[in-house]
Amino acid sequence: MSTDRSRSILLQVAFKAAVDVSEDIDVVRTTTSNYFTLLESLHSDFGISLEQQRSSGGGGFQKRESKPLPEGASLFNYEGNQWIDYRGPKDSGIAKSGHPDFKTLDNQTSIWMIDRDGNPSTEAEGLVLAADGAATLA
């Protein structure tokens, strides 16, 4: 977690505590500032850094390192998500034939152009258009 992110979280905690004390905006502002300063000093007193730290396990969230795209794959945007087009790597044999044709960058969604029954996937239609459109702009 970056210093800015850590400080933002501390500010949100301080604000929540201040709002629980009063609804008067001037009191909330002063109390939030006081709580925020207290929280920062407690971090210092307990030797807790606000800088990014790597977790050694035990339930801490770690962002995975992003892997480079395989040769022939392309990245494009569609309906607010970043997608990877794996059609090229599948055609060239770099990706296995059973690999999805499209995956979101966060690996949460996978789409195949042909479903298990051999029918064209309606979900893939918009992705094909978006990917091909992005390729022509590149």
**Tokens in use for 44?**
């210092």
Task: Note the pTM of the prediction, 2 decimals.
Answer: 0.51
Question: pLDDT tens, 13-38?
Answer: 777 887 787 878 888 888 888 877 88
- pLDDT by 10-residue block (mean), the chain, 138 residues: 69 78 82 81 72 49 65 91 94 92 92 90 90 71
Question: pLDDT tens, 122-136?
Answer: 889 999 998 888 666
Give every CB contact of residue 52 below 8 A, 6+ residues apart in sequence. 1, 2, 3
Domain boundaries, the chain: 3-45, 74-137
Closest among 131, 102, 98, 96 to 116, alpha carbons compared: 98
pLDDT value at residue 52:
47
